[in-house]
């Protein structure tokens, strides 16, 4: 399977090959701030499965996570953990986001109080248990 996406202005494009490691919705405050929304819906891949073209800018949002965004339009597309060898792709930046199939909600202790989660997916107060 191949997933493709990019930023709002089209300066940055990416593709991800194969099936995602997992698909999650993260409600942590770092994701809320980085995405500018109540949660980050993302697909996780091995770093070597994702190719990026264009002027992707990176910023460290924590000791472990660097986030990739377009320096022209500001669209956040990636969250990368180099030590773990993984990269998360934001579902909203996909060309076809209808294929996003979340498996769980994580860090729900930080979810916005007005957000009601009733999709039946597992919910974890913090990080999910190791796979």
Helix (H, G, I), strand (E, B) or coil at 59: strand
Q: What span, in angstroms and rounded, lies between the C-alpha atoms of 80 and 68?
A: 8
Q: What is the pTM of this model?
A: 0.94
Strands (E) in the chain, as ranges, are: 2-6, 13-17, 22-26, 40-46, 50-53, 57-60, 66-69, 76-81, 86-90, 104-106
Pairing label, strands 2-6, 13-17: antiparallel
Digit-coded pLDDT (tens) for 74-83: 999 999 999 9
Domains for the chain: give ranges and CATH numbers.
2-110 (3.90.1590.10)
Digit-coded pLDDT (tens) for 7-62: 999 999 999 999 999 999 999 999 999 999 999 999 999 999 999 999 999 999 99
Whether 50 and 94 have beta carbons less than 8 Å apart is answered as no
């Amino acid at each position: 399977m191949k997933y493709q996406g990019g930023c709002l202005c089209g300066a940055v494009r990416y593709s991800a090959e194969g099936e995602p490691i997992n698909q999650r919705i993260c409600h942590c405050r770092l994701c809320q701030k980085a995405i500018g929304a109540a949660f980050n819906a993302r697909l996780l891949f091995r770093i070597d499965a994702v190719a990026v073209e264009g002027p992707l800018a990176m910023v460290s949002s924590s000791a472990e996570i660097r986030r990739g965004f377009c320096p022209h339009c500001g669209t956040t597309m990636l969250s990368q953990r180099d030590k773990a060898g993984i990269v998360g792709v934001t579902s909203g930046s996909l060309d076809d986001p209808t294929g996003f199939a979340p498996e769980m909600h994580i860090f729900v202790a930080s979810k916005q109080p007005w957000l009601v989660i009733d999709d039946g997916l597992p919910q974890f107060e913090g990080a999910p248990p190791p796979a």
